[in-house]
């Protein structure tokens, strides 16, 4: 199943500046992977984002597009980040690369992902391990040093990072091949809006530990209709389905059966479903205001005018500085400025 069969190709393409960014970043990713991966064959894709952060699913979808093209096949194994997943890797009879999913969880903000990453590095010193593009952030120097010790034990580990600050940190502290590369979600390419606009302004604002949003009352100045949302939480039944015995799954509706995570195709299906939802949410706004990196990236793919705010440790600003400057969006230092710029953008759109 290709991305084209799941997400419509654009009938009205994104602005020229966005198209140029998308094309350029896809070429950077292809070139980097061609240098890192020397031969085709079997490979594993680790740390599947089995949760409702749509941005991480966008990364996963982009990874599958690039890897399927590079290897000429889907991965032999896709895992989550549990101990039993490490044992499943060890049981495989082939010795191809182990590829860790990209994102923004390299560091100590999300310990489960980091502990899994270090466990894989320590457990498989004889395998090529590639960490796809990440933003790095450590709050505790001891955790940084622990990661450095794990990496120095591995002779064939490649760390790809998404911004200059992460690059500098990695080169200063980690004894491995470090490469600067854009986010894998750009491999999705330009997409059409799956639903019609029904909001003047859609604010997609984080509701987690990375947010710096303070509602100063500025949102009251937004024209109606408008809405403030975050990536939606998934119903509990979806994760419960994954735990049901095979015999029970077979009696479920076909759509639920296909969510089984035992195969690479099922993981990919679930990630694509989440990305479609994210594109539908963003499409509803004539203008988008967001402090999520992948709302920024998906807005570029959609050709959606938007205002980008930063997160708690500068991840979005650093990424924009490295890769997406010149696109059809603007940046703002806070919500008051973001509202001002969104109102100006609305005025320009209506003046056309």
What's the rounded Cα separation, in Å, for the pair 225 and 115? 44
pLDDT digits (tens, 9 = 90+) for 276-306: 999 999 999 999 999 999 999 999 999 999 9
Sequence-separated contacts (24+) of 108-115 with Cβ below 8 Å: 108/137, 108/138, 108/139, 108/140, 108/143, 108/144, 109/137, 109/139, 109/209, 109/210, 112/81, 113/47, 113/81, 114/143, 114/147
Residue 208 sits in the same domain as residue 338: yes
Residues 6+ apart with CB under 8 A from 38: none
Indicate the residue among 188, 220, 241 that finishes a domain: 188
Q: What is the pLDDT of residues 311-333, one digit of tens each?
A: 877 889 999 999 999 999 999 99
Read off φ and ψ for residue 244, nearest 5 degrees. -75, 145
- Tokens linked to 16: 């020229």
Q: How many domains are there within the chain?
A: 2
Domain-embedded: residue 284: yes
Residue 101, judged by CB atoms within 10 A of its CB (0-12, 13-18, 19+), counts as buried
C-alpha span between 244 and 228 (Å, rounded): 35
pLDDT at 15: 82
Work out the pLDDT band at 208, boundaries 50, 70, 90: confident
Same domain, 143 and 17: yes
4 is a domain residue? no
Predicted confidence (pLDDT) per residue in 51-92, tens digit: 889 999 999 999 999 999 999 999 999 999 999 999 999 999
112 and 152 inside one domain: yes
* CA separation for the pair 271, 61 (Å, rounded): 6
Q: Specify if 1 maps to a domain.
A: no
Query: In the listed set 127, 154, 188, which residue is the last one of a domain according to the structure?
Result: 188
Q: How far is CA 19 from the centre of its chain?
A: 19
Higher-confidence residue of 326 and 249: namely 326
Q: Looking at the predicted structure, is the pLDDT value of residue 175 above 70?
A: yes
Query: Looking at 188, 221, 246, which one is the last position of a domain?
Result: 188
The mean per-residue pLDDT over the stretch 167-172 comes to 97
- Residue-range definition of the domain harbouring residue 106: 10-188
Whether residues 208 and 171 fall in one domain: no
**Does 2 reside within a domain?**
no
Share of the chain above pLDDT 90, in %: 74
Residue 193 falls within a domain, yes or no? Answer: no
Shared-domain flag, residues 313 and 177: no
Q: Are residues 170 and 225 located together in one domain of the fold? A: no
Does residue 156 sit in the same domain as residue 247?
Answer: no
**Range with the lowest mean pLDDT among 113-122, 214-223, 224-233?**
214-223
Are 245 and 178 contained in the same domain?
A: no
How far apart CA 253 and CA 249 sit, in angstroms, is 8
* pLDDT beyond 60 at 5: no
Residue 123 inside a domain? The answer is yes
Q: Are residues 205 and 93 in the same domain?
A: no
- Judgement on whether residues 227 and 259 belong to the same structural domain of the protein: yes
pLDDT computed for residue 210 by the predictor: 77
pLDDT at 272 over 70: yes
Domain annotation covers residue 169:
yes
Q: What is the CATH number of the domain that holds 269?
A: 3.40.50
Dihedrals phi, psi of 303, to nearest 5 degrees: 75, 30
Give the global pTM: 0.89
Q: Same structural domain for residues 22 and 145?
A: yes
Measured distance CA(349)–CA(352) in Å, rounded: 6
**For the chain, where are the E strands, in sequence order?**
44-46, 77-78, 98-100, 103-107, 129-137, 157-161, 177-180, 199-204, 226-229, 285-290, 306-308, 329-331
Read off the pLDDT of each residue in 215-220 and give the average, rounded to a whole number: 84
> Are residues 17 and 151 part of one domain?
yes
Report the pLDDT value the prediction gives residue 248, as an integer from 0 to 100: 55
In a domain, 53, yes or no: yes
pLDDT at residue 216 tops 80: no
Q: 320 is written with which tokens?
A: 């924009």
Q: What are phi and psi of 336, to 5 degrees?
A: -65, -45
């Amino acid at each position: 199943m290709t991305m084209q069969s799941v997400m419509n190709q654009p009938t009205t393409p994104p602005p020229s500046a966005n198209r140029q960014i998308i094309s350029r970043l896809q070429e950077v990713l292809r070139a980097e992977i061609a240098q890192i991966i020397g031969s085709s064959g079997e490979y594993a894709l680790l740390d599947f984002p089995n949760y409702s952060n749509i941005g991480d699913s966008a990364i996963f979808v982009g990874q599958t597009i690039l890897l399927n093209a590079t290897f000429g096949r889907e991965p032999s194994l896709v895992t989550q980040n549990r101990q039993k997943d490490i044992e499943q890797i060890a049981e495989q009879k082939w010795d191809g690369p182990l590829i860790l999913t990209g994102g923004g969880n390299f560091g100590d903000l999300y310990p489960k992902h980091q502990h899994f990453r270090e466990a894989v590095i320590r457990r498989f010193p004889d395998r090529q391990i590639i960490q796809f593009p990440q933003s790095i952030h450590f709050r505790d120097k001891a955790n940084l040093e622990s990661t450095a010790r794990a990496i120095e034990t591995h002779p064939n580990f490649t760390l790809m990072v998404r911004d200059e600050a992460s690059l500098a940190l990695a080169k200063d502290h980690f004894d491995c091949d470090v490469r600067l590369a854009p986010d894998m979600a750009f491999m999705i390419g330009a997409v059409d809006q799956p639903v019609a606009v029904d909001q003047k302004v859609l604010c997609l604002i984080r509701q987690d530990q990375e947010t710096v949003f303070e509602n100063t009352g500025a949102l009251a100045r937004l024209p109606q209709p408008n809405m403030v949302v975050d990536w939606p939480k998934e119903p509990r039944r979806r994760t419960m389905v994954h735990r049901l015995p095979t015999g029970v799954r077979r009696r479920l509706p076909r759509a639920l059966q296909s969510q089984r995570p035992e195969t690479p195709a099922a993981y990919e299906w679930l990630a694509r479903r989440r990305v479609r939802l994210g594109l539908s949410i963003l499409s509803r706004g004539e203008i988008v205001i967001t402090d999520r990196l992948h709302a920024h990236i998906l807005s570029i793919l959609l050709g959606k005018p938007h205002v980008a705010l930063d997160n708690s440790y500068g991840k979005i600003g650093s990424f924009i500085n490295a890769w997406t400057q010149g696109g059809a969006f603007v940046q703002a230092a806070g919500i008051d400025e973001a509202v001002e710029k969104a109102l100006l953008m609305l005025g320009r759109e209506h003046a056309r």
